[in-house]
Amino acid sequence: MSLSKKTSSVWSHFTVVEGTHFAKCDICKHKYSFKTSVTNLKTHLAKAHWIQMTTIQPVENDQLMDDPPPPSAPTAQSLPSTSTSFSITQAETGSQNTEQPLPNTAQNLPIVRKRKQASITTFVPKKMTFDVQKKIDEGLLKLFTKDFQPFKVVEDEGFKNFVKLLNPAYKLPDRHTISKVHIPALYEKSLNETKELITNESLSGCLTTDCWTSRSNIAFISITYHFIDTQFVLRSVLLGCYEFSESHTGENLRDTIQETLDKWGLNKEKIVLAVSDNANNIKSALSMLQVKSLGCFAHTLNLIVQDALKLQSYLIDKIKCIVTHFRKSSRANHKLNIYQTSNGSNVPKKLLQDISTRWNSTYYMLDRFVELEDAIRATLGLLDNPPQILSANEWKIAKELIQVLRPFEEATKAVSGSKYMTASIIIVIAQGLQNVCEQMAKKNFTIEVINVIKKLQGGMQHRDRWGSIERSKTLVRCTFLDPRFKGITLTNAMQQSTKTEIIELTAAIISESRLFDAQLQEDSNPLPQEVDEDESVVSIWKTIDSRVAQLRPTSTTTSRAIIEVQRYLEDTIINRNCDPLKWWFDNKHNYPYLNQLARKMLCALGTSVPCERVFSKAGLLLSDRRCNLSSKKAEMLLFLNQNT
């Protein structure tokens, strides 16, 4: 079959293997022969992917409507006789000359007007190639996988007219084709590519999981996997976001997580750390899976701060009442904006309302409220039925609370990233917050704010919340292997014990590496056979073999590991704003074995924020406009959004 005449739509889903008569399926990556026809390829699509193909005949050039040629120039026979003369009157020339005959030459032919160029719309559009059709289809699917547009958008008149103007030859698929053919095919393709990525690039990884209930009262469980690839880039993969209709017991959660790990071929030995919220059921599930687990640091921080803010619940509720009044009353909000504008503000700011489940939203509400203090005081005095205003002491407490909460908000933002490692900074941030609270407790704050600080300190000293952080060996090792901190944040005893553990783990890597190198050496071409130990035998290799034996390294794996770890500790500590993973990539030849341990350990995260972000997107996906979207289709779209 000629590759230059690919007329079948089957080529929208297959790619030719160069130099062969095989084609690889873009969805499942399997190869099939097409020596004489594409029937074999069509059969595969129909049986494996439920896609029916049709053959589209190419349009020949003579089928296109060409613009007819302009009329031919007059021939000599059609010209007037040479005896005939042409004359131009004075009125026609506008000159004073009398009638003058023009020369009888061929240059005096009548002017022939050119035919007007036909509009482009009068031509028959050329058939689109399958490569172009495939490329546009891929761009169209991003409307649904990236922007979460409903499938019905392809049937909207405005969208269809817009696509037709861009490319009249493009055949827009209907919503059923997109939902039942294109999305499942793209999902399977992405699934295979992601599995291949994890198999080839993942040395070990970190697991995060969480549960969520949609506005339709449907429960979901999300599981993400994070690892460092060979280029020392932190990669994040959504393993699945499934509907979870069963009871949220530890056993059911364990079974779901185990099924997901089996589906992706991940064993428990590859899981460095599993991060979840502090609910007892998920902690029990991870314990039954026998993997190292950690409560989400951001969730723990949220509980500590919310408990402390309960001491000022009366003041916070009073501020919320004022904010609610301005947000609901258009007249009050208008007066607030007028005051800001008259005082030089080009863009008036709005008051912010807090969210009960996120403490930092309370901080943002207080910060904006204090920022607009003058505008709020002035506007409330102009209202007929204003809410109860704050006293001078309450304004002072609100300002002091902002100072106390600002370090906690900074810590929350620092640990909420998913594109950089966060486990190595958890201990550093925990110690920093404790030091900040000790310093603020000595300041001349009001007694109400001092009580809040003491409550924060008590929450951080609680064994079940903050105490598990410093007891986590995984967090301690990650901090030790972070070239920004190393052991400076650890106590002397903890630093020495961690150093010993790192040496032992590095020695194990060296031992495995040497064993692997020895096996490769045995499989390679054998060296010349050693000579007989009999001194009477004369050989050209006897002297050199004895010298090589004397020069062979006698150091153990432990001593080699000690040297490498000690060199790492003596190396310069990099700036806090530098990328530690890039540093390890640049120094992988200086620390060939410790580098492997760093790649294995530093993939750990300190929070389950990646799952929270998946649920935020799920909330956008499962909107009122998409109330009929099935859970299975939602799982596919979320998977494609995260992994493509």
Percent of the chain with pLDDT strictly greater than 70: 80
pLDDT at 193: 93
User: Does the structure show a pLDDT above 60 at 85?
Assistant: no
Q: Coil, strand, or helix at residue 229? A: coil
Q: Which is more confidently placed, 531 or 499?
A: 499
CB 507 within 8 A of CB 565: no
Among 31-40, 59-68, 386-395, the least confident range: 59-68
Convert the pLDDT of each residue in 449-478 to its tens digit: 999 999 999 988 876 677 678 788 999 999
Average pLDDT over residues 261-272: 91
Q: How confident is the model at residue 196 (pLDDT cuts 50, 70, 90)?
A: very high
Q: How confident is the model at residue 174 (pLDDT cuts 50, 70, 90)?
A: very high
Q: How confident is the model at residue 13 (pLDDT cuts 50, 70, 90)?
A: confident
* pTM for the full predicted model: 0.76
pLDDT at 570: 92
**352/361 Cα distance (integer angstroms):** 8
pLDDT at 360: 87
Among 38-47, 154-163, 473-482, the least confident range: 38-47
Q: Determine the Cα angle at 564 with ends 561 and 567, to 5°.
A: 145
Convert the pLDDT of each residue in 97-141 to its tens digit: 444 444 444 445 555 555 666 555 555 567 788 888 889 999 999
Convert the pLDDT of each residue in 373-393 to its tens digit: 999 999 998 888 889 899 999
pLDDT at 402: 95
E-strand spans in 66-141?
87-88, 100-101
Task: Give the strand pairing for 22-25 and 14-16.
Answer: antiparallel
CB 82 within 8 A of CB 94: no
Helices (H), 357-425: 359-371, 373-380, 392-415
Q: How confident is the model at residue 21 (pLDDT cuts 50, 70, 90)?
A: confident
pLDDT at 110: 55
Q: Which is more confidently placed, 314 or 11?
A: 314
pLDDT at 62: 40
Q: Coil, strand, or helix at residue 236? A: strand
Phi, psi of 483 (to 5 degrees): -65, -5
- Tell me the C-alpha to C-alpha distance, in Å, between residue 447 and each of 312, 401, 438: 12, 12, 15
- Average pLDDT over the chain reads 82
**175/307 Cα distance (integer angstroms):** 49
Q: How confident is the model at residue 15 (pLDDT cuts 50, 70, 90)?
A: confident
User: Tokens in use for 637?
Assistant: 């779209």
Q: How confident is the model at residue 520 (pLDDT cuts 50, 70, 90)?
A: low
**151/134 Cα distance (integer angstroms):** 18
Listed ranges 54-68, 84-98, 136-150; the one with the highest mean pLDDT = 136-150
pLDDT at 548: 62
